[in-house]
Structure 1
Amino acid sequence: MFIKRNRVILSSVLIAASLVFVALMLLPVVGAFQQGNRTANNAANPAASPADQQKALEDQARGYELVLQREPDNQTALRGLLEVRIQQGNVQGAIAPLERLAKLNPDQTEYHVLLAQAKQQVGDTEGAAGVYRDILSRQPGDMNALQGLVGLMISQKRPEAAVALLQDTLKIADEQNKAKPGSINLTSVQLLLGQVYAEEERFNEAIAIYDEAIKTAGEDFRPLLGKAIVLRAAGRQDEAKPLFEQAASLAPAQYRDQISQLASGAQSPSDPANPVPEEPKTDAPSASPSGSQESSSPSRVTGTPSN
């Protein structure tokens, strides 16, 4: 229960701390879409009625669609239409511009991850899995895609498939990293596998994978924290306490409050502002389709890559 209660904090601290995202946050998609809608509309015209705000957004969408009829590959219009659909909370309507943007930007996986999340949210889990697997066929160490596909599998009650995916990734890590150094972050994949084991209460396997990560992770605090969390969940508080302390001493300042919260056994807050670390800022519109129900899946991708 401790592991599942604190899934948001666990995922953000154990996994997100290591990644260089355009930005990836853990928030439920519907809430994020609705929040984006309220924030954007109120900022644009706080005195307008909801009906007027929606009409203004639909007018903007029609304008972008007219441009796209003449110039279907106009990325400014595609991004504009995507932003409007997000502000409307219209996940289905966001899929078409996302598909086009993903096709036009094959190397910018943020669009592909966002597309997979949108497909998952509207119930197209097969399509979502296909997008994630396409990313991983080209970039097997892409942590956004790995987290997304693992989260999808967990939401489908397929933990063994998630374990197999991550174990296969670990098996090819040395070869991939020799060919392209840094292409698979071994520690991050181990941490994600440990989290899957922990959520399934396979504590011995989780501890074993965290021990492997500790041996090679140097000053990285996350394997220590992961092991401490699992020991605590297994009722081995005396063993967990020094690991929490060691993890806190190594962690960047922005994670120390979260580590203290985990060490104390507090439940993760329900405040929508939630305590996940701030993502890197971008000058692009935000989006957040995600399909994870009770999964460890990411996520909110905020930020749209520039041309």
Structure 2
Amino acid sequence: MKRTASNNRFILIFTILLIILLVGGSLLPLVGNVFQGDRTARRTTATPTPQLSPVQQENLEDKARGYELVLQREPENATALQGLIEVRLEQGKLDLALPALERLAESHPQQPDYTILLAQAKEYLGDAEGAFQAYDRILGFNPGYIKALQGMVALQLQKNRPERAIGLLQTTLQTAAQANAVTPDSIDVASVQMLLGRVYEHQERYTEAIAVYDKIIETNDGDFRPVWAKAEIFKQQGEIDKAKPLYTRAVTLAPPKYKDQIKQLSEQIDEE
């Protein structure tokens, strides 16, 4: 339990530091919306170095040397690897954090989020191929890991390869029954279908998107996500009479944290 809490804390710290590094202190989502074009946080050139005093830099370098000494004795020490990565990010040296992040991901394959972080770091440094390889590594072990699927799909769309994204998701769905028979719930079929529907929306293939959402509704009539997604499509197409009852149903089905947002979107229809 303590190890899991420690891992989650590192992932949170890494994400926050990387966001600060890449967007100059503005806490925007690291991955952002999968279906918006170029992500504003992405950088393919050198990232800005935080404004640190000489004393701060010296203290951080001392910390880095301490972690490196530990790693000379214990190359796979997770605590030292995490500490070194955090220090390098605080210094604004994402490129110097990559070797430690690579080692952390490779030595702890049971923690796929480490590899997710590696993929995101590589992507933001302009190494799309390295990011693809990192996502592939995860999906090779766990083809239904939704974070890896989201990352891979986002990158494929960014590289204008929608058919590859669609093919990946369709293959995942085709193999889901067999995979879940071996390891129950290893692939969340509804979540993968939602991702496929969103890709169709991104390509303005709305009929196909709605068909996917209808499949989810048929098998998961308590899932608010496809209902909300259909409402958004109909609203965008100006079919208000179809959108409004779907918004109402989505509000009924949604967990509390989403209800207000869906209500606001529904109310916007009356204001337009």
| Structure with bigger RCO (C-alpha 8 Å, 6+ apart) | 1
Q: How does 1:146-225 map to 2 (within 5 A)?
A: 146-225=149-228
Shift, 1:191, TM fit = 0.5
- Residue 139 (structure 2) aligns with: 136
Match of 1:181, SS? coil
- Per the normalisation by structure 1, the TM-score is 0.70
For residues 125-184 of structure 1, the C-alpha deviation after alignment (integer angstroms, 9 at most, x for no partner) is 111101111211111100010000000001101111111111111111111111111011
Distance 1:28 1:193 in 2: 29
- Residue 94 (structure 2) aligns with: 91
Match of 2:175, SS? helix
Shift, 1:71, TM fit = 2.4
Match of 1:50 among 38, 52, 70: 52
Shift, 1:262, TM fit = 3.5
- Residue 21 (structure 2) aligns with: 33
Match of 1:50, SS? coil
For residues 240-292 of structure 1, the C-alpha deviation after alignment (integer angstroms, 9 at most, x for no partner) is 111111111111111122223443559xxxxxxxxxxxxxxxxxxxxxxxxxx
Match of 2:235 among 232, 236, 241: 232
**Residue type at the aligned position of 2:52:** P
Paired residues of 1:140 and 1:169 also in contact (CA < 8 A): yes
The count of aligned residue pairs is 235
Q: Which has the higher helix share?
A: 2
**Distance of aligned partners of 1:34 and 1:119 in 2 relative to their CA distance in 1, 3 Å threshold:** closer
Match of 1:184, SS? coil
Match of 1:73 among 60, 72, 76: 76
**Distance of aligned partners of 1:83 and 1:159 in 2 relative to their CA distance in 1, 3 Å threshold:** same
- Using the aligned pairs only, state the percent identity: 49
Match of 1:160, SS? helix
**Distance of aligned partners of 1:180 and 1:65 in 2 relative to their CA distance in 1, 3 Å threshold:** same
Distance 1:161 1:28 in 2: 30
**Residue type at the aligned position of 1:156:** K
Unaligned runs of 5+ in 2: 1-7, 28-50
- Say which one has the larger Rg: 2
Match of 2:185, SS? coil
- Per the normalisation by structure 2, the TM-score is 0.78
